[in-house]
Amino acid sequence: MAYMDGPGSSEENVVPIALARLEKLIQVRLAESLELGHEPAVTVKVFESIHDGSVPAIPDDPQFYDAVVEKIVSTLDAYLDHVDEGAPLSASALNEEIENAFAEPELEVEPRSCDHFVGHLRCHECGGITCDASAGCETFLRPNPDGTVFTVGRSFAFDPADVARDFYAHAMPPASDEPVHIVEGWECPRCSAVNWAEIVVRDDTIASIWSVMLSRDVLERAHYVTSECVELAARITGRPAWSLLGDDVFEILFDRL
């Protein structure tokens, strides 16, 4: 979770990072659709209704976001096709079109499993060691995860072209002759502290899985860095996490760690 007013804000100001990610996807797709180029030509803000003081869970599944964004953009495309060229666009009219589109039955996206990396992971907060999937070291590098648990010595092959880039603050495919360095987040099941794991894949085989402190050295050798690091960037900069999604979070961390 990210705080709209920065770390330490009240729970009423909590907004899921996933929601901010959704805003970014819509913003880019809408700008492309209007042939206005990329941000900041179009600004999008998604507001989620909150009932009983709780924040509903928003899935991390890329397929959910693909379906939502596609529905929003196709709805606006259809609306804009009937607007005279040069006519002013009404925000209220656009919002009404979207509300009407989502008044239909909810999007049905078949939930899918998530792959996990499992290793000998030591929490840098409490010192506890986790050696199973309870660490929640999830990976979105494979396009069709099926719940596989990947440990040292197991084959782990993926096509960089299929990586869901929205889930990585940094995604730079390695040269064909060098090992792949991946940084994923994990949560200590004992104290709930957020930690980081560096996974090294050599010749499509997992060579190592280690718990690491997120440092400039780790980032310098990493090819894929989870977008979960946006919360660390928020703490370092003192800015709300959702406001950093338009920046290069990786570069912020690289410059300040």
- Which of 44, 69, 101 finishes a domain? 101
Q: Is the dihedral of CA 144, 129, 7, 225 positive or negative?
A: negative
What is the predicted pLDDT for the residue at 39? 45
The CA distance from 219 to 248, in Å, is 13
The CA distance from 104 to 181, in Å, is 44
Q: Are residues 189 and 230 in the same domain?
A: yes
- Asked if residue 79 belongs to a domain, the reply is yes
Q: Are residues 83 and 124 in the same domain?
A: no
The number of domains in the chain is: 2
Name the DSSP letter for residue 185. Answer: E
At 114, the amino acid letter reads: C
* Domain span including residue 73: 7-101
- Asked if residue 29 belongs to a domain, the reply is yes
What is the predicted pLDDT for the residue at 12? 40
At 9, the amino acid letter reads: S
- Which of 101, 126, 157 finishes a domain? 101
What is the predicted pLDDT for the residue at 51? 47
Q: Are residues 131 and 231 in the same domain?
A: yes
CB contact at 8 A, 229 and 182 = no
Q: Are residues 66 and 12 in the same domain?
A: yes
Q: Are residues 226 and 170 in the same domain?
A: yes
What is the predicted pLDDT for the residue at 195? 94
Residue that the structure tokens 């819509």 belong to: 26
Q: For the stretch 105-115, what's the b/e string if a residue is b when 16 or more beta carbons lie within 10 angstroms of its beta carbon?
A: eeeeeeeeebb
- Asked if residue 109 belongs to a domain, the reply is no
- Asked if residue 67 belongs to a domain, the reply is yes
* pTM > 0.85: yes or no: no
CB contact at 8 A, 64 and 109 = yes
What is the predicted pLDDT for the residue at 79? 78
Q: Are residues 219 and 130 in the same domain?
A: yes
CB contact at 8 A, 224 and 183 = yes
Long-range CB pairs of 211-219 (<8 Å, 24+ gap) are 211/119, 211/120, 211/121, 211/122, 211/123, 211/124, 211/186, 212/183, 213/124, 214/183, 214/253, 214/257, 215/257, 216/254, 216/257, 218/183, 219/170, 219/183, 219/250, 219/253, 219/254, 219/257
Q: Which ranges of 34-165 would DSSP assign to H, the alpha helix?
A: 62-80, 91-101
The CA distance from 60 to 62, in Å, is 6
Q: Are residues 95 and 139 in the same domain?
A: no
Token pair for residue 165?
């880039």
Q: Are residues 252 and 134 in the same domain?
A: yes
- Which of 62, 79, 101 finishes a domain? 101
Q: Are residues 150 and 175 in the same domain?
A: yes
> Could you list the mean pLDDT of each consecutive 10-residue stretch along the chain, which spans 257 residues?
36 48 65 55 54 51 66 77 70 77 61 82 95 92 88 94 83 89 94 94 96 94 90 85 72 87
- Asked if residue 2 belongs to a domain, the reply is no
Q: Are residues 149 and 60 in the same domain?
A: no
Q: Are residues 144 and 202 in the same domain?
A: yes
At 168, the amino acid letter reads: Y
- Asked if residue 108 belongs to a domain, the reply is no
What is the predicted pLDDT for the residue at 150? 96
Q: Are residues 69 and 141 in the same domain?
A: no
- Asked if residue 1 belongs to a domain, the reply is no
- Asked if residue 107 belongs to a domain, the reply is no
